[in-house]
Chains A and B, each alone.
Chain A
Amino acid sequence: MWWVLLAGASLIFLFVMALVAVAWRSPARPAAEERPFVVGLGLAFPLVVLAALLAYGLVVGERLLPRPGPEVVTVRAEASQWRWRFGYEDAPGLETEGVLHIPAARPIDVEITTTDVVHSFWVPRLAGKLDAMPGHVNVLRIEADAPGEYGGLSAEYNGPGYVQHGFVVVAHGPDEWRAFIEGETP
């Protein structure tokens, strides 16, 4: 997605700069019409580009939405200054701190909340960020393609401990995940 945006933006930038340069070099044309500039370039051009971009963004965004399904695993993330606690729907009573365990290759719904100030849950390699709001539960869909460790961060400024306020997501294969849920330390 980034490369599409970058390429499009660079093209538009070069186009505008070329127009500025041409306008600069060209001789005076006191009779120049305003219609091609204002209506053509000012109105029509951005409307077309933006409509395309918006549609693209919405389609991509739609794919990232949490949808119910049999495969979905639900976990809970509770932020506080400056700790992350994680709970698991499949194993009530189980709680981990600083490390979130998930099964790989399955969609995960993270229910995010906070006990004090606003925080934000962000695992850059798995999904975008979502804020933890006091009194609200926000649900973020993440999915790790392969087992492994993924760094997670708090991404909303939350006071002096902000820099160090991170966590780790550990994605397990199916067997390891079952063992974890059943209470054996993997």
Chain B
Amino acid sequence: MTALRLHRALTRIWASDPGWKGWFTTVNHTDLGRMFLTVAVFFFVVGGILAMLIRAQLASPRSAFVGPDIYNQLFTMHGTLMMFLFAIPLFEGFAVYLLPKLLGTRDLAFPRLTAYGFWCYVFGGSMLIFSMLAGIAPDSGWFMYPPLSSTLGAPGINSDFWLIGITFVEISAIAAAVEITVTVLRYRAPRMRLGQMPIFAWYALVTAVMILTGFPPLILGSILLELERAFGLPFFQVADGGDALLWQHLFWLFGHPEVYIIFLPAAGAISTILPVMARTRLMGYGWIVAAAVSLGVLSFGLWVHHMFTTGIPHMGLAFFSAASTLVAVPTAVQIFAWIGTMWRGSPQLHLPMLWILGFFVTFVIGGLTGVMVAVVPFDWQVHDTYFIVAHLHYVLIGGFVFPMVGALYYWLPHFIGRKSYFKLGYTAFWLVFAGFHGTFLLLHWAGLLGMRRRIDTYEAGQGWEAINLLASISSFVMAIGFALVIIDIVVNAVVSVRGSRNPWNGGTLEWAMPTPAAAYNFASLPRVGSRDPLYDDPDLPVRIARGEGYLGDADRGRRETLSVDVSTGAPRYITVFPGNTALPITMSAVTGLFFLGLLIKVYWLVPIAAVGVTALALRWVWSLGARQVEGALPVGRGESLPTSSEVSDPPGWWGSLFLLLANGTFFGSLLFGYAFLWTIAPNWPPPAWVEPGPAVAVLALAGAGLALLAVQVRDPVRTVLSVGGLGALVAACVLVLGLASDPTAHAYDATLWVLLCYALLHLALALLMTAVVWTRRRAGIVSARLGGEGRIVALWTRYAVAVTFIGLVVTGAPGLVP
């Protein structure tokens, strides 16, 4: 078969639907990556406009441009949009678009999940935009400290938009993170070992695992605060055994890793682009991987440095101060490895490189002021002043936006398949760079002069006028610069001529395909033996196009790719991907109804939407799986492999594993909250503990034993034991809930209800999954009969048993001890 005929055959199989319909039914990562990036840039523009309004207000003392009501919405929404709707989705967009191409595979592990996440992001973001247009946007600051953000300080619907909208959007972050993790571990070019992955894949892996462990505390906090606001469960109300400090812990437990979740992808882009620009290879690959991993780990140890002024004991402060300064070490390792790479090569000043140089200047300053605020006595002075505002903008704009704009320019020829003319881009860079430093270098000084953040106006005569006026003017210069970047990119996308493949002479696999990328990425999957395959084997693209790698034909007429061994990259099985479908967008719309019902307090809508989501999920699952055993199929190069239906660790098992990692972190955060309230909050112990009798203990032990035994044996005994065991656990939970007081009485009762409802939800899920697999087995579906579906259910059953048992013990045991 010739390369062209192969291209046509594969395109027929992989292409999205034509026309506008394709936007809503596509599950292709190239399309969805571009859509993610476009929507993220849209939110950047909106957030930028809010920033301009803020600077317009602060340009002069006693400004009457907007009142405090509007101003409080402006800064809250600016922070919220930039963090949740711009920075994280922009990373997701890059990862969704690039990862399969860098790794040499045809799509992400779960294509429909990519689409579902994207639409959740769009619908959730729309909720927040709507609140802003209606003038009822959140106004309690982007970190939403209760009681100010709770019913006491914010009785309106404003805070609900934040709590519900952001939780909805976070579905997309969790979905993308599961997907990225499984893709990096299992979907690479055959024989690409972990140590041979493009460096960006390492960064994406670390970032994704951090999202899985960093976001659950925030999601938990949002749910608890919303429960307090909507139903009066007093988690953060001190009079009833709650504590406002709990929110700050949960928030910053997320919030600090978040900073590195934002920085690491940018560092990944730099580590990819810099060596190409310097015409050499990256220095210290192993060191950089180690630095990224240790940044990920360390970042979870420093959340308290946002709370130095909350009255934490001094020993605690010393520990967190040390951890906060320590985090500078892996950052320094990366910075100096990059400088070493430039030293080794001969860098050229292309536009992407210019943005990276801008990063060096800005980020080093931001890092140094960061070390300053890690020093506790200094932080006591500058905390919550413009010094912090300036510091965080140096880190986030210098450390994320600059490199990401560089990355946008670097991969622009790939996105649009055209040669780029970058004349406007240079002007834009200098406007942004000068404007940025003109704004924020000065604002450090305003902070040292005592200007607090979040004030909507100030009096003349404190020496702040000149600083603020200059900062405002500079910020408009920066905004014009960013507008030019966007115009530049749009103009390039529309008018430039078709360009050559691999214009920068990069060494990674994304440049081994024609651009714009074909829907199937690679006509055949290359065997890879080094970190820069294109440098070592310049003819590789031609052989890929001719179908000389794995899966180099379209004979089976379906979307296929290879799953490989985690560490060695040896091919393991064929994954068959689903085709175009409107199921993801429908399911996220119904998910949106669920959140909308909560938001506008139309509670009858909530269970209906929940049933709808469950029905759609069942349909989603039902469409998977072959009915005939195919055995080993030829994959090219003389090898044969089974499909994912017939193996014991299908993609769904890996996806479940990492979803349970996030879920377990959520449950762990809930236990942490319980322990925190018990030990720290005033007004503990509660008026009465629940005192479960021996019946509950017997049911719990017997149920857990039966359910755990069930997953060890074969059907039909397995199904019977499983249903019996899980049913007994459900009964135990219901009994305890019957004994418990009203959840609004005390934070203990509220926690008990949340823990046991969480357990009940997982028991129901395990029962449902057991029933589904039983039905599928009866229907003769291969993956249920021979494959790994039983193991997936076993995983979820074990998890449900564990959380139920722990939940029952921690809520019931205190009442048994005299």
Contact surface of A with B, Cβ cutoff 8 Å: 1-2, 5, 9, 12-13, 16-17, 19-20, 22-24, 26-30, 32, 34, 36-38, 41-43, 45-47, 50, 53-54, 56-58, 60-62, 64-65, 81, 112, 116-118, 120, 124, 127-131, 133-136, 138-139, 153, 155-163
Q: Any chain A CB within 8 A of the CB of B377?
A: yes
B191 to chain A, nearest CB (A): 26
- C-alpha gap A120/B453 in the complex (Å): 13
A66 to chain B, nearest CB (A): 10
Contact status B452-A153, CB under 8 Å: yes
- C-alpha gap A110/B486 in the complex (Å): 53
- C-alpha gap A102/B334 in the complex (Å): 51
B368's nearest neighbour on chain A, judged by CB, is: A9
A149 to chain B, nearest CB (A): 16
Contact status A23-B384, CB under 8 Å: no
Contact status A38-B380, CB under 8 Å: no
Contact status B309-A34, CB under 8 Å: no
Q: Any chain A CB within 8 A of the CB of B381?
A: yes
- C-alpha gap A56/B470 in the complex (Å): 35
Given pairs A43-B333, A118-B148, 4 additional interface contacts (CB within 8 A) = A17-B364, A23-B339, A42-B287, A128-B383
- C-alpha gap A155/B310 in the complex (Å): 12
B307 to chain A, nearest CB (A): 8
Contact status A38-B340, CB under 8 Å: yes
Interface residues of B in 451-506 (CB under 8 A from A): 452-458
A17's nearest neighbour on chain B, judged by CB, is: B361
Q: Any chain A CB within 8 A of the CB of B42?
A: no
Task: Kindly identify which residue among A38, A58, A133 contacts B337, using a CB–CB cutoff of 8 Å.
Answer: A38
- C-alpha gap A133/B279 in the complex (Å): 56
Contact status B383-A129, CB under 8 Å: yes
- C-alpha gap A110/B385 in the complex (Å): 22
- C-alpha gap A134/B140 in the complex (Å): 17
B69's nearest neighbour on chain A, judged by CB, is: A160
Interface residues of B in 346-391 (CB under 8 A from A): 346-347, 357, 360-361, 364-365, 368-369, 371-372, 374-381, 383-385
Contact status A50-B243, CB under 8 Å: no
Q: Any chain A CB within 8 A of the CB of B280?
A: yes
Q: Any chain A CB within 8 A of the CB of B761?
A: no
Query: Which of chain A's residues have a CB closer than 8 A to the CB of B317?
Result: 61
Query: Which of chain B's residues have a CB closer than 8 A to the CB of A136?
Result: 243, 245, 311, 682
Q: Any chain A CB within 8 A of the CB of B48?
A: no
**What is the interface of chain A mostly: helix, strand, loop, or mixed?**
mixed
Query: Which of chain A's residues have a CB closer than 8 A to the CB of B311?
Result: 112, 130-131, 133, 136, 138-139
Contact status B450-A138, CB under 8 Å: no
B105 to chain A, nearest CB (A): 30
Query: Which of chain B's residues have a CB closer than 8 A to the CB of A124?
Result: 381, 450
B773 to chain A, nearest CB (A): 49
B347's nearest neighbour on chain A, judged by CB, is: A24
Which one of A16, A32, A157 has the highest number of Cβ atoms from chain B below 10 Å of its Cβ? A157
Contact status A38-B360, CB under 8 Å: no
Query: Which of chain B's residues have a CB closer than 8 A to the CB of A16?
Result: 335, 339, 360, 364
Contact status B287-A30, CB under 8 Å: no
- C-alpha gap A41/B450 in the complex (Å): 35
Contact status A135-B683, CB under 8 Å: yes
Query: Which of chain A's residues have a CB closer than 8 A to the CB of B291?
Result: 42
B420-455 to A contact mask, C-beta < 8 Å, 1/0: 000000000000000000000000000010101111
Task: Kindly identify which residue among B141, B238, B340 contacts A37, using a CB–CB cutoff of 8 Å.
Answer: B340
Task: Kindly identify which residue among A12, A36, A50, A120 contacts B309, using a CB–CB cutoff of 8 Å.
Answer: A120
Q: Any chain A CB within 8 A of the CB of B343?
A: yes
Contact status A30-B280, CB under 8 Å: yes
Task: Kindly identify which residue among A131, A159, A161 contacts B310, using a CB–CB cutoff of 8 Å.
Answer: A131
Contact status A57-B384, CB under 8 Å: no
Query: Which of chain A's residues have a CB closer than 8 A to the CB of B328?
Result: 46, 50
Given known A1-B378, A61-B377, contact A133–B245 (CB-CB < 8 A):
yes
Q: Any chain A CB within 8 A of the CB of B665?
A: no
- C-alpha gap A70/B727 in the complex (Å): 66
B241's nearest neighbour on chain A, judged by CB, is: A135
Contact status A129-B381, CB under 8 Å: yes
Task: Kindly identify which residue among A116, A157, A158 contacts B453, using a CB–CB cutoff of 8 Å.
Answer: A157
Q: Any chain A CB within 8 A of the CB of B508?
A: no
Q: Any chain A CB within 8 A of the CB of B30?
A: no
Which one of B283, B361, B371, B450 has the highest number of Cβ atoms from chain A below 10 Å of its Cβ? B371
Contact status B244-A42, CB under 8 Å: no
A136's nearest neighbour on chain B, judged by CB, is: B311
- C-alpha gap A162/B454 in the complex (Å): 8
Q: Any chain A CB within 8 A of the CB of B515?
A: no
Q: Any chain A CB within 8 A of the CB of B152?
A: yes
List 14 A-B pairs, Cβ < 8 Å: A20-B360, A23-B342, A28-B344, A28-B346, A30-B280, A42-B336, A43-B332, A57-B378, A116-B152, A116-B153, A117-B152, A134-B238, A156-B145, A157-B384
- C-alpha gap A44/B689 in the complex (Å): 54
Query: Which of chain B's residues have a CB closer than 8 A to the CB of A133?
Result: 244-245, 310-311
Given known A12-B368, A16-B335, A54-B322, contact A157–B375 (CB-CB < 8 A):
no
Q: Any chain A CB within 8 A of the CB of B284?
A: yes
A132's nearest neighbour on chain B, judged by CB, is: B311
Contact status B72-A160, CB under 8 Å: yes
Contact status A57-B321, CB under 8 Å: yes
A51 to chain B, nearest CB (A): 8
Contact status B148-A57, CB under 8 Å: no
A117's nearest neighbour on chain B, judged by CB, is: B148
A6 to chain B, nearest CB (A): 8
Contact status B284-A37, CB under 8 Å: yes
Query: Which of chain A's residues have a CB closer than 8 A to the CB of B140?
Result: 157, 159
A154's nearest neighbour on chain B, judged by CB, is: B452
Task: Kindly identify which residue among B145, B337, B368 contacts A34, using a CB–CB cutoff of 8 Å.
Answer: B337
Query: Which of chain A's residues have a CB closer than 8 A to the CB of B284?
Result: 34, 37-38
Task: Kindly identify which residue among A2, A41, A53, A120 contacts B332, using a CB–CB cutoff of 8 Å.
Answer: A41
Contact status B332-A45, CB under 8 Å: yes
B75 to chain A, nearest CB (A): 9
Contact status A50-B321, CB under 8 Å: no
The list of the 6 closest CB pairs from A to B, nearest first, reads: A128-B380, A135-B238, A138-B311, A37-B340, A42-B333, A57-B375
Query: Which of chain A's residues have a CB closer than 8 A to the CB of B345?
Result: 28, 30
Q: Any chain A CB within 8 A of the CB of B685?
A: no
Contact status B244-A134, CB under 8 Å: yes
- C-alpha gap A19/B326 in the complex (Å): 22
Contact status A53-B337, CB under 8 Å: no
Q: Any chain A CB within 8 A of the CB of B556?
A: no
B278 to chain A, nearest CB (A): 8
Query: Which of chain A's residues have a CB closer than 8 A to the CB of B385?
Result: 155
- C-alpha gap A61/B368 in the complex (Å): 20
Contact status A42-B335, CB under 8 Å: yes
Given known A9-B369, A17-B364, A131-B309, contact A32–B452 (CB-CB < 8 A):
no
Q: Any chain A CB within 8 A of the CB of B147?
A: yes
- C-alpha gap A159/B332 in the complex (Å): 39
Which one of A12, A120, A127, A131 has the highest number of Cβ atoms from chain B below 10 Å of its Cβ? A131
Contact status A13-B365, CB under 8 Å: yes
- C-alpha gap A23/B683 in the complex (Å): 61
A140 to chain B, nearest CB (A): 9
Query: Which of chain B's residues have a CB closer than 8 A to the CB of A36?
Result: 340
Query: Which of chain A's residues have a CB closer than 8 A to the CB of B153?
Result: 81, 116-117, 158-159
Contact status A30-B309, CB under 8 Å: no
- C-alpha gap A12/B450 in the complex (Å): 26
Q: Any chain A CB within 8 A of the CB of B611?
A: no
Query: Which of chain B's residues have a CB closer than 8 A to the CB of A116?
Result: 147, 152-153
Which one of B153, B334, B336, B454 has the highest number of Cβ atoms from chain A below 10 Å of its Cβ? B336
Which one of A1, A41, A45, A118 has the highest number of Cβ atoms from chain B below 10 Å of its Cβ? A118
Query: Which of chain B's residues have a CB closer than 8 A to the CB of A62?
Result: 314
Query: Which of chain B's residues have a CB closer than 8 A to the CB of A53?
Result: 325, 371, 375
Q: Any chain A CB within 8 A of the CB of B68?
A: yes
- C-alpha gap A116/B151 in the complex (Å): 11
Query: Which of chain A's residues have a CB closer than 8 A to the CB of B310?
Result: 130-131, 133, 138
Contact status B365-A23, CB under 8 Å: no
B322 to chain A, nearest CB (A): 6
